[in-house]
Amino acid sequence: MKTETLSPRYPLDHLAPLGRVGVISLATDFNIEHDLRRIYPDGVEMFTSRVRNFNPLTIENLRTMAPGISAVADAILPGTELDVIIYACTSGTVAIGSKRVEELIHAARPDVKVTNPLTAAFAAFDALQAGRISMLTPYTDTVNGDVARVFSGSGCEVLNIAGFGFEDDTAMTFISPRDIEEAAIEICHPDADLLFISCTALRSAQVVEHIEQRLSKPVITSNQVLAWHSLSLMHHPGAVFGYGQLLSSHLSPESDIGRTSLNTPVMESHHD
């Protein structure tokens, strides 16, 4: 049998010419890839690896993800350069801490830029000059209390926070976007500079613009703000339309945006 080695006749294609994003998703997240693929423009590609997590969603269970984060980061296209790695869990970042998440990712991928929903949200608050916020989540009151304390402790004035009371991360995705929109209109404090809709599992990015039009103020969501911040860190050259004014009016290709190594503390639970 004759064998031969062929050489390509044409130059190798440069895939993902505008950026490669690694995504560390929760094992139970039903939604994150769908949202990011819709939002990212052509030329930006995302590659997902999943970290094991456990229901019910509590601060204690969320902390159990931390030991697996480095290995999951290492498993995203090993040997291939990534521009940004996202840790895609808002409440998980509250539980573990932004700085610790970044350290765990850099233990495996020391040169990559890192973001998470908290770091991205605080960068967005700066870009939008927002200090007073309302928050909508799918979480229980207990988890919401911890989430609000971390945001308040990082310099925000949390005027109010409301949640749907879910403990199952996968089930959170099944909440109708119509329910999200109506709840957002109902609970947003009139004095808030913006509304933040927390949780990568919620299908909230697709109704951002409707909510903004009805509230006449900016709205950010976990997945939308992750897309925005990762694009900003990659110096993406143009606006992205259809997902709110953050992406359409506040992308800056000239410089990194926001406090990318924000040292938010690990949340100590205060459960009564």
3-state secondary structure the chain: CCCCCCCCCCCCCCCCCCEEEEEEEECCCCCHHHHHHHHCCCCEEEEEEEECCCCCCCHHHHHCCHHHHHHHHHCCCCCCCCCEEEEECHHHHHHHCHHHHHHHHHHHCCCCEEECHHHHHHHHHHHHCCCEEEEEECCCHHHHHHHHHHHHHCCCEEEEEEECCCCCHHHHCCCCHHHHHHHHHHHCCCCCCEEEECCCCCCCHHHHHHHHHHHCCCEEEHHHHHHHHHHHHCCCCCCCCCCCHHHHHCCCCCCCCCCCCCCCCCCCCCCC
pLDDT at 263 over 60: no
Residues 67-97 pLDDT 10s: 999 999 999 999 999 999 999 999 999 999 9
pLDDT at 23 over 70: yes
Q: Which CATH class is domain 118-222?
A: alpha beta
Q: Per-residue pLDDT averaged across 201-218, rounded?
A: 98
Share of the chain above pLDDT 90, in %: 90
Q: What is the pTM of this model?
A: 0.92
Q: Hey, where are the domains in the chain?
A: 118-222
pLDDT at 259 over 50: no
